[in-house]
A and B are shown apart, each in its own frame.
Chain A
Amino acid sequence: MHGAKRRKIQIGGVYALLGVVVLAALILLQKFPPLTLWLAFATAFAFLEWRSVEVNDRMLMSPTVMVALTAAVAFGPDTAALGVATMAALGAFSADDFRHRRWFQPIANFGQMVVTAGVSVYILEWFLKQAPKPETGNTFWVWIAAGSAVAATVYALINYTFVTVAVRTVFEKRDLRPWSNLGQLLPSYLLMGFVGGLLGATYTVLPVVLPLVFVVFIVGYLSFASYGHLREAHEATLRGFIKALEAKDLYTRGHTERVAFFAQLVGEEMGFNGTRLERLRWAALIHDVGKLAVPRDLIRKKGKLTEVEYEELQVHAHVVEEILAEVEFLRPMVEIASSHHSHYDGGGYGGVGHNHGEQPSPEACILAVADAFDAMTSTRSYRMALSQDYAFSELRRNSGSQFDPEVVEALVRALARTTERYGSPHLASEEEARRLAEGSQVISHG
């Protein structure tokens, strides 16, 4: 923990210093734009920055880059970089960070955003100076479009570099979800920057459109917000019903959350990102929802289930999975979740659409390993938690048959890196764990 704090101070210090240097240089080089215009754009920028929503990888767009470049073109050369950099400096201090008493994010963001905005707008200014008069028509617009596209690319690159460096050093995470892929990030930045530049140029030609430009910002914001909110709502609904399942059965409490965590670790280790990783995590969250319709005494039964009981359990689980599959966005996840009992070599029980002898998808293999690992390292009604090393050796013993060897090794590697240990520290035999569990049962009954 101490190391993380030291690294935070280092990164925060370096970023803030860079930000101050850039800001000072711009103050010396440039004049400040007209105050009312600056205030209007700064308000819009801060609003969008503070209320930024987490958007899925498929739709990565930042409306702030649009506002920044609109403002840059509207301010004009020799004032733009200073104007936008000060806007960005203000936007870094979000009320949310203060409420949560976070000091690192605002400071690092301040440096990062000032440098990003200052440098990219300074480049845009070169284009603005080269551009001919608006009366020339097409030539003017092509210069503006090219300039804003270049500026947006620079904006995305600098922003990406700063954020990646910070997260890698401070949080020691190699994969960073919304930012995992520059390739997916760049087109949206380009588009938004392009749009922003054009809006700014329209303002310089026709100042009267300024209110309409702000309407565009509002509509743009709504377009992001609606998506983000509903996505959160999806996850909240899912979580609610997972909790319902856990309320029915105390022993699964926390199980789904932990399986989702292990699945995500393994997924990251195996190089999943974006939508695929998110899908895996959601599949892990719903992997036991089938139990909702299963009689409780079956779920909590001690020891092995009889053949008939096992059949009954699968039928119930099946019906629930079919219902969930009617929800379009859940379908791929239900497919993963329902095949998490099938074996790597094609045996075992398959879910919806599973054929015997078929190798399950990598996602299903990950889920199977995560599920088995948590089952072994957590306390069940019929036995105590086993140790992590025992779980590893069990997984390895069955890898190639029940489990995918690659997934098992990825789990071992990922857990070695977290330095966290799961399960009991010493229990290393199934029999002992069962005997202990029965012992405690006797005591609690007696």
Chain B
Amino acid sequence: MGDPRVPVKSPLVPVVWALGSAALAYLLMGETEMPVLEVGVWAILLAEASLVSLPASSGNRLSLAFAVSGALPFVLVSVDGTVDLAAAGAASAMGLLGTWMFRTLRSDPAEEVMAAVLRHGFGVAAYLVVFTGTVSLADSLSIPAGNVDWVRLTAFAVAASLWFLIETSLWASMVYGRNRLSRRYLWLLAAKDWAVVLSLLTTGALFGFAWGELGFWAIVIAGIPYGFAHLSFFRSQESRRTYGQTIRALSRIPEVAGLSPKGHSDRTSGMAMEVGQDLGMTPDEVTDLQYSALMHDIGRITLNEPSILKMGFTDEDIARWGAEIVAEAPYLSHVATLVRQQHQPYRRPGEERDLELPMASKIIKATSAYDHATMELGFSPLEALEVLHRGAAYDFDPDVVQAVRRVLERRGVVPA
């Protein structure tokens, strides 16, 4: 997945934003009973933490700043025990300003930094307000004083869920702004990060609860969920990468054996993924689509047998042989079904369209045909698209053809 980027219209935007948040922080500082020094320390911690990020499976980079912000309403409390909203707000505003400065100094891409800071700003504002709101709601319901910690835990759960929703929705719409992928796809992709967000926020809450009671040991305790998250997400990212590499390497075997055109499966799979994302498939479906597109020609390794070449074969046979090979790996049984059906027409003469046929198979059929037309028959993209349009009666699903057109327009190879 690519990095999330939103286009920034003018270089003045960050400057205006920085001045705004500094002014906001100044105003909020007037309201708080906290010493400026303490608020400042939290702001610096927040900015520092934003430099430590975990790669989430969606491609969104979630940083330790989530944990620090999550702890703010626990640690910044007034004398009477209520959340010092002004102090927490000021610390967040200054912290985000620092984040923006630090990350710009680290020469992260400007628009990415802005996007991250804006998302975090909205999210943390909602989190703080809802947290405080839930606590005061419980106060007005006159809950016994002994339960104050449980009220805070509930407030944390409610506010943190809301924050997660805001973060994922904003991330999805920001990425949508750049890539024009299906919103459903992006949102589901972002929602898969729940484990990372959960562990980061738990780190914050554990720290928040423990800070007052345990002092230094709170850092050790709070480090536990973060440590797990760190280990597991870096490791699983690495494993996912090798999994993809394995499939890609194996998909190239028919190509090096001279049995299928060079780079065909790679190009087909790249385009198929974009089409699938455009059509609003779920992230898991897109992954299956990617793998089956990579392996759609694996059946061709059978083609170096003289007997088979003598007998002749159809595309149907290639699909069947490929599916038989892929089906040997139990994890890929799903992919095998998609590979098997890759050459079915979406509709046969005189019949209704085949509703059983998976979308992924239809996408592979169309994108593979497009690659064949452009790379081997020497057609221009427009001519190749024309081939797909002409085949839309039976072979290629018109919805898929439309999506292919949109992808090509976005790539800029076909006029919009």
Contact = CB atoms under 8 A, between A and B. Distances in A.
**Size bracket, chain A contacts:** 35 or more
B206 A209 contact: yes
B53 interface: no
A194 to B, nearest CB: 10
Interface in B305-330: 305-306, 324-330
A296 interface: yes
A235 to B, nearest CB: 9
A143 interface: no
Contacts of A220: 228
Interface string B291-309: 0000000100110111000
- Highest count of chain B CB atoms <10 Å: which of A209, A216, A244, A297: A244
Contacts of B252: 323
A230 B239 contact: yes
Interface string B189-223: 00000010011001001100110011111001100
Nearest to B151: A208
Interface in A212-232: 212, 215-216, 218-220, 222-224, 226-227, 230-232
Interface stretch (B87-95, B174-182, B230-238): B230-238
Contacts of A326: 245, 248-249
Given A324-B249, A330-B246, 11 more contacts: A202-B210, A207-B149, A208-B152, A212-B209, A216-B202, A219-B199, A219-B228, A234-B239, A295-B304, A297-B306, A327-B249
B253 A208 contact: no
Interface in A260-291: none
A237 B247 contact: yes
Given A233-B331, A327-B245, A226 B228 contact: no
Interface of B: 149-150, 152-153, 195, 198-199, 202, 205-206, 209-210, 213-217, 220-221, 224-225, 228-229, 231-232, 235-236, 239-243, 245-250, 252-254, 256-257, 298, 301-302, 304-306, 324-332
A244 B328 contact: yes
For the complex of A and B, the 3 pairs showing the least CB-CB separation, nearest first, are A240-B329, A223-B232, A293-B257
B240 A230 contact: yes
Contact of A206 (B209, B216, B228): B209
- Highest count of chain A CB atoms <10 Å: which of B250, B302, B327: B250
Given A220-B228, A222-B232, A328-B242, A237 B198 contact: no
A250 interface: no
B210 A237 contact: no
A247 B323 CA distance: 13
A239 interface: yes
A195 B236 CA distance: 22
Contacts of B209: 206, 208-209, 212
A173 interface: no
Given A236-B329, A239-B329, A293 B239 contact: no
B253 A222 contact: no
Interface string A70-109: 0000000000000000000000000000000000000000
A237 B332 contact: yes
A216 B224 contact: yes
B328 A234 contact: no
B298 to A, nearest CB: 8
A215 B202 contact: yes
Contact of A198 (B224, B301, B325, B332): B224
Nearest to A232: B331
Contacts of A202: 206, 210, 214, 221
B62 to A, nearest CB: 14
A29 interface: no
A208 B214 contact: no
B331 A244 contact: no
6 contacts: A202-B210, A222-B232, A227-B236, A231-B239, A237-B250, A324-B249
B265 to A, nearest CB: 12
B232 A208 contact: no
Given A223-B228, A227-B232, A296-B304, A320 B253 contact: yes
A32 interface: no
B236 to A, nearest CB: 4
A71 to B, nearest CB: 16
Contacts of A237: 243, 246-247, 250, 329, 331-332
Contacts of B326: 240
Contact of B257 (A215, A219, A292): A292
A349 interface: no
Nearest to B202: A215
Contacts of B250: 237, 241, 323
A198 to B, nearest CB: 6
B138 to A, nearest CB: 14
B235 A219 contact: no
A211 to B, nearest CB: 7
B354 to A, nearest CB: 28
A171 interface: no
B253 A292 contact: yes
A411 B324 CA distance: 36
B325 A219 contact: no
A129 B152 CA distance: 32
Contacts of A212: 153, 202, 205-206, 209
A219 B198 contact: yes
Nearest to A208: B149
Nearest to B157: A211
Given A206-B210, A320-B253, A219 B225 contact: yes
B117 to A, nearest CB: 26
A297 B298 CA distance: 19
B243 A230 contact: yes
Nearest to A241: B250
Contact of B149 (A206, A247, A316, A320): A206
